[in-house]
Amino acid sequence: MKPETFQLREMMLSDYEAVLGLMRRTPGVSVRDADSEAAIARFLERNPNLSFVAEQDERLVGCLMAGHDGRRGALYHLAVAADCRRRGIASALVARCLAALEGLGIHKTHVDVFRNNADGNAFWAAAGWTRRDDVHRFSMICGGGSNA
């Protein structure tokens, strides 16, 4: 597959099953209760025109979800099908999401990457993102289960 043979388009709720399938097949991407169809529907409704999928030959081969809180952007669930990697798909998805966020006046965006995700860490570093060693992320679960 050459870079020009895939297309990006906005992620729709109708992509849910294909996106979840890709995420489930992709080590390094965690699927939580917050990835239920209802929750993803809420996310897409709150963050329109910011999440994208990559398709080739009518097959969904990549995804990246983006949102913002009015100040900062956040990226979630970057995944590219194993047989389609190193062809620029993730780079194209990130560029599209950042452009969409920038269009809304969001100029700084964060992404969480598991420390043990070698591919993910290599990708973000190669893309020029700054790895933050000066912050810790603290999390709290209020209600819901341990997989919230």
Applying CB under 6 A, among 122, 144, 147, 148 the residue interacting with ligand COA is: 122
Applying CB under 6 A, among 88, 95, 98, 129 the residue interacting with ligand COA is: 88
Question: Residue 87 corresponds to which tokens in the numbers above?
Answer: 């062809």
Cβ closer to ligand COA: 55 or 119? Answer: 119
Return contacts of 31-40, CB within 8 angstroms, 24+ apart.
32/147, 32/148, 33/144, 33/145, 33/147, 33/148, 34/148, 35/77, 37/13, 40/13, 40/16
Cβ closer to ligand COA: 79 or 145? Answer: 79
Backbone angles phi, psi at 80, to 5 degrees: -130, 135
Secondary structure of the chain: what % helix, strand, coil (to 5)? 35, 20, 45
9-28 footprint of ligand COA as x/- string (CB under 6 A): -----------------x-x
Is 120 near ligand COA (CB under 6 A)?
A: yes
Q: How far is the CB of 68 from ligand COA (least distance, A)?
A: 17
Q: How far is the CB of 88 from ligand COA (least distance, A)?
A: 5
Is 90 near ligand COA (CB under 6 A)?
A: yes
Q: How far is the CB of 143 from ligand COA (least distance, A)?
A: 26
Cβ closer to ligand COA: 105 or 130? Answer: 130
- The full DSSP string for 80-140 is E-GGG-SSSHHHHHHHHHHHHHHHTT---EEE---TT-HHHHHHHHHTTPPP--S------
- Where along the sequence are the contacts to ligand COA (CB under 6 A)? 26, 28-29, 78-80, 85-91, 111, 113, 117, 119-120, 122-123, 126
